[in-house]
Amino acid sequence: QVQLVESGGGVVQPGTSLRLSCVASGFTFNTYGMHWVRQAPGKGLEWVAIVWYDETTKYYSDSVNGRFTISRDNSKNTVHLQMNSLRVEDTAIYYCARGTNLDSWGQGTQVIVSS
Amino acid sequence: DVVMTQSPLSLPVTLGQPASISCRSSQSLVYTDGNTYLNWFHQRPGQSPRRLIYKVSDRDSGVPDRFSGSGSGTDFTLKISRVEAEDVGVYYCMQGTHWPPTFGQGTKVEIK
């Protein structure tokens, strides 16, 4: 079955960096686009970024554009989110999700940005 | 960005009774290929979201048939024919037609 497992979250100070990873299994990873979606404490879902199946195309939300970078390694069935210049408002659970219409989600990894 | 507006934001329901959630988009969600990429997700407390419905009315595998989606253009509805205890949580609509994908604010369903 499809499985997505995120890791890399933690507690960091504003202005620092963090790299999230999502390891996929149970499907042909290199045929699916992959998303990152986040959820701030007590809030709704916010789409963050997407990378095409072949990494030729990437899109970002305005709130992270220029600070976050999405990438993937199809040899390792892994998608990453490099987060730089972190802000307090980036505090959230970060989920990876599969495919154009987010048909499968991981359990999430928590990122807390606090001084 | 396309704004997705859900109503109500809170929905107390009685077990065994029907429930309905509305989702409206600020633009038509009909894509150039003729499909309408409107999805519904359910998030139970402490869990990650799970997709229930895609392309307005197609149920995902394993989703009970008491869940149904309908609508077109800018107006969409998720209906639960008979609410069960496991249906509590927050329901989100999401459009995938226009970039970037956007979610509704969420509708919290709880048992009366």
Q: Specify whether the CB–CB gap between B44 and B107 falls below 8 A.
A: no
Distance CA B11, CA B77 (A): 14
Task: Say whether pLDDT at B89 is over 90.
Answer: yes
The token duo for B36 is 């309408």
Helix locations, A11-70, DSSP H:
none
Strand, coil or helix: B85: helix
Taking residues A44-51, report their average pLDDT: 97
The confidence score (pLDDT) of residue A29 equals 97
Q: What is the mean pLDDT of chain A?
A: 97
The confidence score (pLDDT) of residue A100 equals 81
Task: Say whether pLDDT at B42 is over 90.
Answer: yes
Residue of B10, B42, B44, B51 best to disrupt the A interface, most CBs of A under 10 A: B51
Task: Considering only the beta carbons, identify the residue of B90, B94, B99 that sits closest to A59.
Answer: B99
The token duo for B43 is 């998030």
The confidence score (pLDDT) of residue A20 equals 98
Shortest Cα distance from A7 to chain B (angstroms)? 14
The percentage of chain B sitting over the pLDDT mark of 70, rounded to a whole number, equals: 100
